[in-house]
Amino acid sequence: MKKKVAIQGIRASFHEQAAFSFFGEDIQTVECNSFRETCEALKNKQCDYTVMAIENSIAGSILPNYALLRDFHFTIIGEVYLPIQLHLLALPGVKFEDVKYVESHPIAIRQCDDFFDAYPQLQVRERNDTAACAKRIREEQLTDTVAIANILAAKLYDLEILERRIESNKKNFTRFLVLSDPGNAEAIVENPDKASLSFQVGNEIGSLARILNIFSEENINLSKIQSMPVLGKRNEYNFYVDVEWQERRQYETALHKVLRYAVNFTNMGEYRKNEEA
């Protein structure tokens, strides 16, 4: 039976591309309109896994998704660093000089600022999903509109690439997390070397530094730190950190020490780190 994987967006979106990268293409994609909907699908057992974008090398962290991780208590079993290559897609035969409108997801649009500076006559329309823009052009036979999307969308919806690689920064990556229900026996990760942790600290001088120093002392690499305010509490924050290790013993020792100082500590998942392409 094929694995069911929930994604934000539709087929040929970057989320589906990330799912293919992690699981292979022999999966069943569950299309969802929002990130929350992907989490609801996993919670309600409408899928086996969820793939969720968490940060982009240009646009930064996707903060609402950290809140979803906190609220739904899923287990992170993997990550994918996906190179984001953005193309300008149109119906076959459409010429660039005929184009009036460009449609895509707001984050994709922001990643193409240099292109829009060069062609100020183009009117930009923000949509919910890159692939959905490509699909609409095909279904409605739009000859004055192009989409910014990936090569999967071009192939699936039989569109031509008018301009390739229009993203401003060619070293553009999005990091995706692969989420599972904690009770999924098939989602056990062997030999993990990375973990995502969340915790709070007391509002005293040096309380956060004390915890971060523990990781340093145990030779644990801190690859990411993100803070978010605790709702309804002034000057209190949830800290989300990603840590990497070579010796698991050092990682376990570090956790044992951190627990002395951290409040509301949660290990959100241990997994194999994915090196950037």
Residues with a known catalytic role: 174, 176
Query: Nearest to residue 166, comparing CAs of 86, 104, 58?
Result: 86
Contact between 12 and 148 under an 8 Å Cβ cutoff? The reply is no
Contact between 90 and 133 under an 8 Å Cβ cutoff? The reply is no
Phi, psi of 146 (to 5 degrees): -125, 160
Structure tokens at 260: 């002395």
Distance CA 65, CA 55 (A): 9
Query: Nearest to residue 196, comparing CAs of 100, 61, 41, 104?
Result: 61
Label the pairing between strands 221-229 and 237-244.
antiparallel
Query: Nearest to residue 133, comparing CAs of 89, 93, 163?
Result: 89
Helix H segments across 24-150? Answer: 35-43, 63-72, 106-110, 113-118, 130-140
